[in-house]
Chain A
Amino acid sequence: MPKPSDLLQGTLDLLILKTLVREAMHGWGISKRIQQLSGDVLSVQQGSLYPALHRLEQQGWITAEWKDSDLGRSAKFYSLTREGKQQLERELDSWNRLSSAVGLLLKKA
């Protein structure tokens, strides 16, 4: 089993939540969207994606629903809950703080 991703643990959660802001998506769609939006830089391994989705669902940030996908097959679509949106705000805050701190450090060091 290859090491799934280089993404920091919290970062994957943040990316998933952010991806789901606009519309409900299934797991496959989420991984494609992250890959696409990051210009193929980031690729999420299934091995981390699905456990993360289930964890987020268990914690009540996202909720799942079975719907027909655009290909006519039934798929599990995830969407943000109200609390999930608030959680996203918090995570964005902390991400901004972290990245600016890292940027500051890299610039000055």
Chain B
Amino acid sequence: MLRSRRFRIWSNRVHSLFRKDHLDAELNQELFFHFEQLVRENVAEGMSTEAARRAARQALGNLSQLAEECRDQRRVGWLHDLWQDLRYGLRMLRQSPGFTSLVVLSLALGIGANTAVLGALRASLLSNIPFPDGDRLVLVRTYPEWNPALNNSASIPDYIAWKQQSRSFESMGASIADHSRDFGAEEDGRPAERIEGHGFSPSLFVALGVQPLLGRTFTEEEAEIDHPAPVMVLSHRLWQRRFGGDPGVLGKEVRLSGTNLTIIGVMPPDFRYPLEETEYWVPLGINRFQLQGSARFFAVVARLKPGVSVQQAQAEMDGIGAQLARDFPDRHKGWRIRVQTLRNAWYGWMKIPLATLEGAVALVLLIACANVAGLLLARGAARRPEIVMRMALGAGRGRVVRQMLTESVLLSLIGGVLGTFVAWGALKALLQMNPPLAGQRITDVAVDLPLLALLGILSVVTGLIFGMGPAIACFQLDLAGPLKESTRSAGSPYRRNRLQSALVTLQIASALVLLIGSGLLINSFVRLAGFNLNFDPSGLLTFEYRIPQQQYVRNIGVFQGAPYSAIDPSPTPAIQRVYEQLRTMGGPESVAGISQPPVNSPVLNTMSFSIEERPIAENVADQNALRAVYFLITPNFFTTMKTRVVRGRDLNDFDTASASWVVIINEAMARRFWPGEDPIGKRLTLGVVSGERPREIVGVVRDIPTRRERADPQPVMYASYLQQSPDYRGPIANMFGQMTFLLRSSGDPLSLVPAARSAVADVDPDHAITRIQTMEQYWGGGMRDKRILAAVLGVFAFMATILAAIGIYGVMAYSVAQRTREIGIRMALGAGPRKVLMLIGSRAVTLISVGMVLGLAGSVALSRLIASQLWGIEPTDPATFIGVSLLLVTVALVAFFIPARRAIRVDPTEALRTE
């Protein structure tokens, strides 16, 4: 029963709120009916029409007051007040569009940016793992005790021991990147194609919980040691592209890089693991040498048993790791095991940059709040008479405060609506961040309902926070005071000034923290970007040519934990043909090749060596001490890179296999092994390689950074790809069949691509060139995030500075305006501009210095948090701190001087008259 009545009451309320005009018309009609009846009655009693009307009007009394009383009965107090406040607030905002748009814009940016960053953070915590029960999936990895920051994969003995001994997991599987394989060009015109795939243990499909779309995955028998079965599972994409989605591919035999493989299954379209571009899976090929090996190349994924936590699994693995280290110290000593959820491995990398950003955008929002509060306060001064009048007419303080808060929240809600667009754009930009090797990019995030709710809450809270200022000021209003002194404002409303001062100090401090943070990031970015590359990346085209290593590498054992291999047949003649073809094709200014990308190669080969004429003891004492990064290069490599040869010469066409063997080293190697000596003419011999001859050092070159993140150069040696033993037996044999070519052009390097592609196809139709890009793209790829982070923080810091400047300006302009009369009197009494400036300036100087001190203290405390994002610079870099402080002080002083100038120019007679 009550429900129907409540419902009626509410519908009446809503009705009276939104159908006001309609109800008013009805009310008038009702009262008019009554009036007419009254007139009729009077006429019936014998009055004239005129008199009857007069009498009726008299009887009814004040009609509009009666109507108002009726309306009053319908009102729901707070609802109507709110409605009234909203409309009043909107009117006030419309009256000062400049103020409104300034406030709304800064709020939109602040609220939108906060929403976006929090949304991205939420996505990194909650994003979908595309496997059934994905939160039970963990990566099991290893790391050396001396550097826990590293994440290594597992060796085969690790994997086997873990799988046999652990009880925490339902299943466990391992994978390793398969060497890329090539489809040859087909008779029907389909070109040669290189595809990337992975070797999977049969149990990995089980652990991931995936089923094939067609056919089956591998059986345990198909993953036999030394003899993986010649079968493959296709990705959905490859199946569609190369086989037209034909269900008849099952059982079909295809030739890939010279091996026949039978297709046994096709995976569903959403299965793209471990990489987005993985096109096929073959049984994990383990050879018997790896059973003893300690090379940690295998990625291990396990599924936790229901109810087992990551911590429990970690504890169990710690025990297993310790036991392994005791039983097999040569292989496992010094290594620990890390159990990490797949989610964390995929998305965990976003947390630090996002947290940094969140700190920045929260500060910006705080500054914007302080600023808006300051602006509202200043404007509140103008509205003081209005508010006092309202209170004098009987509005309670609570009522007035509520109206002020309504206006503030209205402002921030408008900001929030605009902020939705900011959030949408910012979120999209944020998710473009490049993940590191094991990480994944989040793709399925949108501005959804929870995010909008967050935005709404942020808006309301923001409005309430900055609305506090004027509301508090309102409580401190002395009712009698302003009315008594009419509009004169000689007296200083001291407490409001204090609130304003606090706000400005807060703004300066926050702006300084932001400026220093972004200053550090920009500084380290500039260092990184301008870091001596010692080569010229512009105008360089790079691509890779590679012969699958199954075609020429034969594993014959393990040495020092790494595979030891023989080469047969040598791929060098094929490489030489491609190189010669590229040199003669015309177009590039110069052409060269190197066995791995010179910078940021995913794999960095090192080689041990011994130095001639040095005591054997010294050479043998520490095998690892005599070790350097090792590249094979073609002639003219340094000419093409435009790397300066400091001493000696570049390789040239006379450095053939039959000439005497030579080597070129970098300056870091010269410094390390020949300190204070000229290394030219010295000879060294590479270790553990059969058929190796001593090599004479013929050149020393500038250090090309092997890793972009590393500020300290590593020793590097470069040898000719031609001067190699024809029956090579040794480590890293796979470097012989691959070459990253560099083509230097005076124009757009990408215009060389078609010519280069066909040149390679002319001599080798079976192996397509891959990873085609300009050196700038290659170099810049990972730089983008750092640049974006620095740029975004820079923009925020700039905004914060501007907002703080506006805040200072507002306070000073207000205080100058307030004291115009006082200044006028002082000047009339003989105070000069200097004196006036001091008078006005002492407050500004106090505000600025207190703000700066607070900001510096905050920065020292907070900059440590972004230490991991910095490169080659300390989080408390004095240059950045001092430079940025000076910048902010300058801006603050300028913001102060504009109103101060006005004060100096006050004309005493004018000033006294205006009041």
Interface set of A (CB-CB < 8 Å, partner B): 1-2, 26-28, 46-47, 50-55, 57-60, 63, 66, 69, 73-76, 81-83, 86
Of B26, B60, B61, B73, which one neighbours A58 at CB under 8 angstroms?
B73
Query: Contact at B33–A73, with CB atoms within 8 Å?
Result: yes
Question: Given A51-B70, A54-B74, A76-B26, A46 and B34 touching (CB < 8 A)?
Answer: yes
Q: Is B37 an interface residue (CB 8 A)?
A: yes
Contacts of A54 in B (CB 8 A): 70-71, 73-74
Contacts of A52 in B (CB 8 A): 73
Contacts of A86 in B (CB 8 A): 1
Contacts of A28 in B (CB 8 A): 33-34, 37-38
Q: Give me 26 A-to-B residue pairs in the complex whose CB atoms sit less than 8 angstroms apart, sorted by A's number.
A: A1-B61, A2-B61, A26-B30, A27-B30, A28-B34, A46-B59, A46-B61, A47-B61, A47-B66, A47-B69, A50-B34, A50-B70, A51-B69, A51-B70, A54-B70, A54-B71, A55-B73, A59-B9, A60-B5, A60-B8, A60-B12, A63-B8, A76-B29, A82-B4, A83-B4, A83-B5
Contacts of B30 in A (CB 8 A): 26-27, 50, 75-76
Contacts of A74 in B (CB 8 A): 29, 33
Contacts of A26 in B (CB 8 A): 30, 33
Q: Is B31 an interface residue (CB 8 A)?
A: yes
In the docked arrangement, what's the CA distance between A61 and B213, Å?
A: 67
Of B4, B8, B12, B31, which one neighbours A50 at CB under 8 angstroms?
B31
Q: Hey, what's the 0/1 contact readout for B10-42 against A, CB within 8 Å counting as 1?
A: 001100100000000010011101101110000
Of B1, B29, B33, B62, which one neighbours A82 at CB under 8 angstroms?
B1
In the docked arrangement, what's the CA distance between A66 and B31, Å?
A: 13
Contacts of B34 in A (CB 8 A): 27-28, 46, 50
Closest A residue to B33 using CB positions: A75
Interface set of B (CB-CB < 8 Å, partner A): 1, 4-6, 8-9, 12-13, 16, 26, 29-31, 33-34, 36-38, 59-62, 65-66, 69-74
Q: How far is the CB of A18 from chain B (nearest CB, A)?
A: 20
In the docked arrangement, what's the CA distance between A50 and B33, Å?
A: 12
Closest A residue to B63 using CB positions: A46
Interface-central residue, B5, B71, B72, by most chain A CB under 10 Å: B5
Q: How far is the CB of B334 from chain A (nearest CB, A)?
A: 81
Query: Contact at B66–A46, with CB atoms within 8 Å?
Result: yes
Q: How far is the CB of A36 from chain B (nearest CB, A)?
A: 13
Q: A51-B69, A59-B9, A60-B6 are in contact. List 14 more A-B contacts (CB 8 A).
A: A1-B65, A2-B61, A28-B38, A46-B61, A47-B61, A50-B34, A50-B70, A51-B72, A60-B5, A73-B36, A74-B33, A76-B33, A83-B4, A83-B5
Interface contact tally, CB-CB below 8 A: 74
Query: Contact at B9–A83, with CB atoms within 8 Å?
Result: no
In the docked arrangement, what's the CA distance between A60 and B3, Å?
A: 11
Query: Contact at B62–A1, with CB atoms within 8 Å?
Result: yes
In the docked arrangement, what's the CA distance between A82 and B5, Å?
A: 9
Q: How far is the CB of A90 from chain B (nearest CB, A)?
A: 13
Q: How far is the CB of A53 from chain B (nearest CB, A)?
A: 8
Contacts of B59 in A (CB 8 A): 46
Query: Contact at A50–B5, with CB atoms within 8 Å?
Result: no
Question: Given A1-B61, A46-B61, A51-B70, A60 and B9 touching (CB < 8 A)?
Answer: yes
Query: Contact at B66–A83, with CB atoms within 8 Å?
Result: no
Contacts of B74 in A (CB 8 A): 54, 58
Contacts of A69 in B (CB 8 A): 33
Q: How far is the CB of B23 from chain A (nearest CB, A)?
A: 9
Contacts of B4 in A (CB 8 A): 82-83
Closest A residue to B69 using CB positions: A51
Q: How far is the CB of B103 from chain A (nearest CB, A)?
A: 39
Q: How far is the CB of A20 from chain B (nearest CB, A)?
A: 16
In the docked arrangement, what's the CA distance between A86 and B5, Å?
A: 12
In the docked arrangement, what's the CA distance between A69 and B40, Å?
A: 14
Q: How far is the CB of A99 from chain B (nearest CB, A)?
A: 27
Closest B residue to A2 using CB positions: B61
In the docked arrangement, what's the CA distance between A66 and B73, Å?
A: 20
Contacts of A47 in B (CB 8 A): 61, 66, 69
Contacts of A27 in B (CB 8 A): 30, 33-34
Query: Contact at B9–A58, with CB atoms within 8 Å?
Result: yes
Contacts of A81 in B (CB 8 A): 5, 8
Q: How far is the CB of B25 from chain A (nearest CB, A)?
A: 11
Query: Contact at B33–A57, with CB atoms within 8 Å?
Result: no
List of 9 A-B pairs having minimum Cβ-Cβ separation, nearest first: A55-B73, A54-B73, A60-B5, A28-B37, A60-B8, A51-B69, A54-B70, A76-B30, A83-B5
Closest A residue to B12 using CB positions: A58
Q: How far is the CB of B366 from chain A (nearest CB, A)?
A: 45
Contacts of B16 in A (CB 8 A): 58
Closest A residue to B71 using CB positions: A54
Closest B residue to A87 using CB positions: B5
Contacts of A1 in B (CB 8 A): 61-62, 65
Question: Given A75-B33, A76-B29, A83-B1, A51 and B73 touching (CB < 8 A)?
Answer: yes
Contacts of A83 in B (CB 8 A): 1, 4-5
Q: How far is the CB of B56 from chain A (nearest CB, A)?
A: 10
Q: How far is the CB of A70 from chain B (nearest CB, A)?
A: 11
In the docked arrangement, what's the CA distance between A57 and B66, Å?
A: 16
In the docked arrangement, what's the CA distance between A51 and B68, Å?
A: 9
Closest A residue to B59 using CB positions: A46
In the docked arrangement, what's the CA distance between A106 and B262, Å?
A: 113
In the docked arrangement, what's the CA distance between A52 and B26, Å?
A: 16
Closest A residue to B9 using CB positions: A60
Contacts of B62 in A (CB 8 A): 1
Closest A residue to B11 using CB positions: A60
Closest B residue to A48 using CB positions: B69
Contacts of A73 in B (CB 8 A): 33, 36
Q: How far is the CB of B604 from chain A (nearest CB, A)?
A: 82
Contacts of B9 in A (CB 8 A): 58-60
In the docked arrangement, what's the CA distance between A75 and B29, Å?
A: 8
Contacts of A63 in B (CB 8 A): 8
In the docked arrangement, what's the CA distance between A60 and B72, Å?
A: 16
Interface-central residue, B4, B30, B31, by most chain A CB under 10 Å: B30
In the docked arrangement, what's the CA distance between A26 and B33, Å?
A: 9
In the docked arrangement, what's the CA distance between A46 and B29, Å?
A: 14
Contacts of B31 in A (CB 8 A): 46, 50
Closest A residue to B1 using CB positions: A83
In the docked arrangement, what's the CA distance between A52 and B69, Å?
A: 9
Contacts of B71 in A (CB 8 A): 54
Closest A residue to B65 using CB positions: A1
In the docked arrangement, what's the CA distance between A28 and B5, Å?
A: 26
Closest B residue to A4 using CB positions: B61
Query: Contact at B73–A46, with CB atoms within 8 Å?
Result: no
In the docked arrangement, what's the CA distance between A52 and B73, Å?
A: 8
Q: How far is the CB of B903 from chain A (nearest CB, A)?
A: 56
In the docked arrangement, what's the CA distance between A17 and B786, Å?
A: 77
Question: Given A27-B34, A60-B5, A83-B5, A46 and B60 touching (CB < 8 A)?
Answer: yes
In the docked arrangement, what's the CA distance between A57 and B4, Å?
A: 14
Q: How far is the CB of A2 from chain B (nearest CB, A)?
A: 8
In the docked arrangement, what's the CA distance between A58 and B76, Å?
A: 10
In the docked arrangement, what's the CA distance between A57 and B30, Å?
A: 14
Closest B residue to A51 using CB positions: B69
Contacts of A76 in B (CB 8 A): 26, 29-30, 33
Q: How far is the CB of B2 from chain A (nearest CB, A)?
A: 8
In the docked arrangement, what's the CA distance between A51 and B65, Å?
A: 11
Contacts of A55 in B (CB 8 A): 73
Contacts of B36 in A (CB 8 A): 73
Closest A residue to B72 using CB positions: A51
Query: Contact at A57–B61, with CB atoms within 8 Å?
Result: no
Closest A residue to B30 using CB positions: A76
Q: How far is the CB of B480 from chain A (nearest CB, A)?
A: 32
Interface-central residue, A26, A50, A52, A55, by most chain B CB under 10 Å: A50
Q: How far is the CB of A71 from chain B (nearest CB, A)?
A: 8
Closest A residue to B26 using CB positions: A76
In the docked arrangement, what's the CA distance between A87 and B30, Å?
A: 25
In the docked arrangement, what's the CA distance between A52 and B72, Å?
A: 11
In the docked arrangement, what's the CA distance between A46 and B12, Å?
A: 22
Q: How far is the CB of B39 from chain A (nearest CB, A)?
A: 11
